[in-house]
Structure 1
Amino acid sequence: MRRAWLWLVKNTLNRVTVRLARAGRGPFALVRHVGRKTGRAYETPLLLARLGDDFVAELTYGPDVSWYRNVEAAGRCRVVVGGREYEIDRIEVCPPDVGLRAFGNPAALVLRLMRRRDFRLLGRKS
């Protein structure tokens, strides 16, 4: 069931949100990463929150999704936020209280209600 849901999201919603993120419109960001098995370049739309110069990602579908496993294996990626591209060279577990604070209200309230507690800090290259 989960696999079918992820396929549906990837082949419908993601196609629309990738376009919005590339254009710097809406709340979406892009994570540009390379497949750990295929070596192909991918773009995955996400909601990211700013935390100083860095970004926080909420792992909606957990740490076993391809984009996160690719980024974790490579130790780096690029994110496109508001039409600007940033190089990421640090991926760390982010405490839930810090992640929720980064998203701010009302997003943090929704994340709390949904019991989301899996966040990652995407650190920008200095």
Structure 2
Amino acid sequence: MPIPMTVARANRVALNRVMRRIAPHTPFLGLLTHRGRRSGREFTIPVNVFEFRGGIRLALTYGPGTDWVRNVRAAGGCTLRFRGRTLELTNPRLVRDPQRAGMPAFVRFVLARLHVEEFLDLDTAE
């Protein structure tokens, strides 16, 4: 797992509150809205976003076992606020990409240092 889950818990309490305000206006960040598998509650979280081959690629900085990834896969999609627009995303697929293809050099460098090789690819709904 690239980043320890203890960091994820701390981010949930503090950093995510700040990131929710700036993510929709920041390159490579967006706000993903998904519904809980068991609770049915709606959750909104900041994510690392990249436009990729006609769809969207999300960096899984905490790995593929996080609740939000499991929720998006179970639901078959989610909503993303990114670069001033709202996208409906479908067909979630886990992808392992050690080369971090299609990303700017700086992003590839940072993700490599964090050992992030797993991504969630989604299609934009027509």
Common fold: TM-score over 0.5: yes
Q: Using the alignment, how far apart are the partners of 1:15 and 1:46 within structure 2?
A: 13
Letter in 1 for 2:119: F
Q: Using the alignment, how far apart are the partners of 1:114 and 1:4 within structure 2?
A: 15
Partner of 1:69: 70
Q: Using the alignment, how far apart are the partners of 2:12 and 2:32 within structure 1?
A: 14
Sequence identity, in percent? 28
Is the Cα contact below 8 Å between 2:5 and 2:62 reproduced in 1?
A: no
Q: Using the alignment, how far apart are the partners of 1:53 and 1:113 within structure 2?
A: 27
Give deviations 1:52-106, integer Å, cap 9, x for gaps.
Answer: 43111111111111111110110110111012100011111234057x1222211
Per the normalisation by structure 2, the TM-score is: 0.87
Is the Cα contact below 8 Å between 2:32 and 2:45 reproduced in 1?
A: yes
Partner of 2:104: 104
Partner SS for 2:101:
helix
The RMSD of aligned alpha carbons is 1.7
Question: Could you list the runs of 5+ residues in structure 1 that have no partner in the other structure?
Answer: none
Q: Using the alignment, how far apart are the partners of 1:85 and 1:53 within structure 2?
A: 16
1:89 aligns with 2:93: no
Q: Name which of 15, 25, 29 aligns with 1:13.
A: 15
Letter in 1 for 2:39: T
Question: Could you list the runs of 5+ residues in structure 2 that have no partner in the other structure?
Answer: none
Partner of 1:119: 119
Segment drifting more, 111-120 vs 33-42: 111-120
Is the Cα contact below 8 Å between 1:56 and 1:102 reproduced in 2?
A: no
Per the normalisation by structure 1, the TM-score is: 0.87
Aligned residues between the structures: 122
Q: Using the alignment, how far apart are the partners of 1:63 and 1:37 within structure 2?
A: 18
Residue 115 of structure 1, CA deviation: 2.4
Segment drifting more, 68-77 vs 47-56: 47-56
